[in-house]
């Protein structure tokens, strides 16, 4: 149990146990992934956050009234700095940049954790705030907007605490979150029937395997957009494909070129139905989708092998 007392006129708390401190790890991973769109980067941020905690003396640790809030503040600032530097790095990135896709947590494989799979604390909680469509909208925000919005609207942090992370007034943080909220509303798919998303993906896979262009067009929104991310490490189309017909013809050509070497598997990507393709038994691409009713509005194809480490043995 944590207690509060007075020592030399300073309000202190007894040292929190290791379990309580490490119990924050899952929440910090959740926060880092939503802010950075990369589990690898989120893990690095969390590792640095804990390194800073344990670099403090026992007295300094006891003087922190809420270790969880302290860890969140440090992680938030590290993410903000990384987001700012990422904008510079993206200028040299080859092609489009897509957030790192996540499989079902039960399928996660981690080289660090051996045959038992990934540490449960490293598994991101899958909900609406980690769908690929949501992450892509987040990525279009300014770093300050993204941090203010995610901390307030997703993690329910008050603007007074967010101000200390972003380095702006609570009122300014409120405006940042409001601006981000407008971006999210503007990017949402048009209202329509929910549809059977898994069924749409299944029919898309069947039509793609059959190279049935007409069926593919019928499953795509007329203004659908397909984006691919190879990062210069895998062959893919560098510019987005726009329009159902263009996408259908391009994907049919991909199926023809790969022939019997390619296999397709339905799976869950960031909490929604998706697809994985393999070439000669080796994972090649993870596909995430956004749906508008019973049609596909967006396709995100991730081929950069550095973003597919969790999928290699899934």
**Which residues sit opposite 283 in a β-bridge?**
278
Domains of the chain: 1-95 (no CATH), 197-311 (3.10.450.50)
Tens digit of each residue's pLDDT (9 = 90 or more) over 210-230 = 999 999 999 999 999 999 999
Tens digit of each residue's pLDDT (9 = 90 or more) over 243-300 = 999 999 999 999 999 888 899 999 999 999 999 999 998 999 999 999 998 999 999 9
For position 123, what pLDDT does the model report?
76
Instruction: Mention every residue, 6+ apart, whose C-beta is less than 8 A from residue 278.
Output: 262, 263, 265, 284
Q: Where residue 202 falls among pLDDT bands split at 50, 70, 90? A: very high
The structure tokens listed for 215 are 């069926």
For residue 118, is pLDDT > 60? no
Angle, vertex CA 176, rays to CA 172 and CA 181, nearest 5: 145
For residue 3, is pLDDT > 70? no
By three-state DSSP, how is residue 256 classified?
A: helix
Which whole number is the average pLDDT over 162-188?
95
Residue identified by tokens 């905690």 is: 53
pTM summary value: 0.87
Euclidean distance between CA atoms 264 and 267, whole angstroms = 10
For position 249, what pLDDT does the model report?
98
Euclidean distance between CA atoms 33 and 130, whole angstroms = 8
For residue 8, is pLDDT > 70? no
For position 113, what pLDDT does the model report?
38
Q: Which long-range contacts (CB under 8 A, 24 or more apart) does 152-159 make?
A: 152/177, 153/177, 153/180, 153/181, 154/34, 154/129, 155/27, 155/31, 157/72
For position 27, what pLDDT does the model report?
94
Q: Are 104 and 267 in contact (CB under 8 A)?
A: yes
Q: Where residue 117 falls among pLDDT bands split at 50, 70, 90? A: very low
């Amino acid at each position: 149990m944590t207690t509060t007392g007075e020592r030399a006129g300073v309000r202190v708390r007894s040292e929190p146990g290791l379990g309580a401190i490490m119990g924050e790890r899952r929440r910090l991973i959740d926060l880092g992934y939503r802010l950075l769109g990369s589990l690898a980067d989120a893990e690095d941020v969390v590792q640095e956050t804990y390194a800073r905690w344990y670099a403090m003396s026992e007295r300094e640790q006891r003087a922190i009234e809420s270790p969880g809030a302290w860890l969140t503040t440090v992680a938030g600032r590290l993410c903000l700095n990384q987001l700012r530097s990422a904008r510079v790095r993206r200028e040299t990135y080859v092609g489009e940049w897509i957030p790192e896709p996540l499989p079902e947590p039960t399928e996660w494989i981690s080289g660090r954790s051996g045959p038992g799979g990934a540490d449960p604390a490293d598994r991101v909680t899958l909900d609406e705030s980690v769908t690929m469509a949501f992450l892509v909208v987040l990525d279009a925000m300014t770093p300050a907007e993204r941090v203010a919005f995610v901390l307030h609207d997703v993690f329910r942090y008050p603007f007074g605490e967010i101000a200390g992370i972003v380095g702006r007034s609570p009122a300014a943080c409120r405006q940042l979150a409001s601006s981000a909220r407008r971006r999210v509303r503007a990017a949402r798919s048009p209202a329509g029937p929910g549809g059977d998303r898994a069924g749409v993906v299944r029919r898309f896979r069947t039509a793609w395997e059959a190279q049935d262009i007409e069926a593919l067009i019928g499953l795509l929104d007329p203004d659908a957009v397909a984006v691919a991310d190879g990062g210069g490490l895998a062959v893919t189309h560098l510019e987005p494909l726009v329009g159902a017909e263009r996408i259908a013809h391009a994907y049919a050509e991909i199926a023809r070129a790969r022939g019997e070497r390619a296999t397709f598997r339905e799976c869950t990507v960031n909490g929604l139905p998706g697809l994985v393709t393999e070439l000669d038994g080796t994972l090649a691409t993870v596909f995430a989708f956004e749906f508008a009713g019973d049609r596909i509005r967006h396709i995100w194809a991730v081929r950069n092998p550095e973003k597919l480490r969790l999928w290699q043995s899934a």
